[in-house]
Chains A and B, each alone.
Chain A
Amino acid sequence: MAVPRTSFFLFVLILVGAWTLQAWPQGIPGPQGAPPPQAPQQPSLLGAPQPAPQPTQQVAQPTTPPRNTLAVVVLDPAHGGADQGARGSSGIAESDVVLSFARLLRISLEAQGLRALLTRQANEDPSFDDRSKTANAQRGAIFITLHVSSTGPAGTVRVYSLPQDGAPSMTAAATPARPLLVRWDSAQQRYLDLSRRLAELIQIQMAQRFRGSVETPTAAPVRQLRTVAAPAVAIEVSSVSLPDRVPLDKMAPVLADGVARAVAAFRLVYEAGVK
């Protein structure tokens, strides 16, 4: 019986060894539902406990940009799918025009060294919240929603941001590293000042490029902006009432260049944390 008993012990030993090797990098798991074991605390010089170094626990950190870095511009071609938005008598659909604008604008922004994301790539209609979600999932983002009006002087551009309602608004510099919980319905409230600055910079560019455009941005309760937790503006080009799309298509590269320059200027404001 000695040989089988020895074999049994050897077998158990091998099992324990294998289990120990497998468990070594993560540490030994506690019982189900119990918190993971804490690293021992070491007293600091000031007496406050400091967490001990954890040499074996290397958690891959996402490559997030430092705070106050403008990393991505989320472009929102409004409407889409069954919702064509404004529609002219000649058949121009807002949803088609803004998608073309967004694609050109992405190229111009990328030429400025910025990453650009579109909330829709084709003729689809994400909800307002889904579009906001695309922006809110990014760190260091700004949001630009693109529209074409059904009225107004043709060839002009207006830029909108949400109006101030007296609630405190944060600057980029004041934005905490770990943002406080914010209400989805009023996510834009913290960014009103920055949104206004972005709108001003874009509107100036538009006034220089498109005769008849106003020189100061307009405050309006645009639904899409309300749930964006980042500097956010709406740009509205006039209009779908044109007899054909050619004038709007001619506006697109000029608009894209102007917006990209404004965003580049805003990047300095944003990253410097200037109010």
Chain B
Amino acid sequence: MSRGLKTTIAILCVLVVFGLITLPSLRQAIQRVSGNPRTEEQARREVMQIPISTPTDVKVKAQMYWLSATSPVSLEAATIELPLSADPVERAKQLLIALVADAPTPNQRTLPPDAILLAFYLQPDGTGVADFSDALSAETPSGIQSEQLTVDSIVQTLGANVSLIRQLKILIHGQEVETLAGHLDLSGLFPVPSATAAALPVPPAPGLGQSGSAIPSPAVPAQAKQTPN
């Protein structure tokens, strides 16, 4: 056996031993990668499902609009205690997350339980932009009435608790969609009832003025006006 051949065999043996040593960790890595990949929405959802808390949170009595327990074709105001931020954007997020998660009974839900608020923006002119996951569109019961109740519960809840939002644009997964679930037009802006925050007064957010007043909003569904673009 030549010297070169011996060297080659020795190197190969070292490599085989090294491979055997690293095999278990390689298998683990492959299993991790081949597992169900998390979509971007799942990742955002995990973050959003955690209730948001901010340094300015104060427990207040918030007015939420869910379906009436006695008449499922109208909304009813319910007062619950929520820690709400002084920052209107964070406050709106907290309210919308609570609107999905804290309905008194499943039958009073206005938004599907799987609907996730992905983002909320507030423009200086008072236009709020709520970006929901696909579940809002896919799981809202199809129909003019049911879709209108969904939108009304969102705008009335925001109007009752966040004074700076004048109108609302609803996006689905970051996109403008034609309808919520086949009927209600989402291409325009929904007017938010004027500042009727039922919550206790909160300190003004930096650069954004004061939010909160004490006039309750009526439990009648708003006429969701639509301004075509």
Q: Which residues of A contact B (CB under 8 A)?
A: 78-79, 83, 85-87, 94, 128, 147-153, 158, 160, 162-165, 183, 185-186, 218-224, 226, 234, 236, 238-239
Contacts and interface: CB of A to CB of B under 8 A. Distances in A.
Contacts of B178: 128, 223
Interface of B: 72-73, 141-146, 148, 178-179, 182-185, 187-188, 223-229
Given A150-B142, A221-B225, A234-B144, 4 more contacts: A218-B148, A220-B184, A221-B226, A226-B228
**Chain B's interface: helix, strand, loop or mixed, by majority?**
loop
A203 to B, nearest CB: 14
Given A219-B223, A221-B188, A223-B179, A185 B146 contact: no
Contacts of B141: 86, 149-151
Given A220-B184, A222-B184, A223-B183, A149 B227 contact: no
Nearest to B182: A85
Given A128-B178, A221-B225, A226-B226, A149 B146 contact: yes
4 closest A-B pairs (Cβ-Cβ)? Answer: A149-B143, A221-B226, A223-B185, A86-B142
28 contacts: A78-B183, A87-B142, A94-B142, A128-B178, A147-B143, A148-B143, A149-B141, A150-B141, A150-B142, A151-B72, A151-B73, A152-B143, A152-B146, A162-B226, A164-B225, A220-B144, A221-B185, A221-B226, A222-B144, A223-B183, A223-B185, A223-B187, A226-B185, A226-B226, A226-B228, A234-B144, A236-B145, A239-B143
Contacts of B227: 165
Contacts of B223: 163, 219-220
A220 B186 CA distance: 11
A78 B187 CA distance: 19
Contacts of A223: 178-179, 183-185, 187
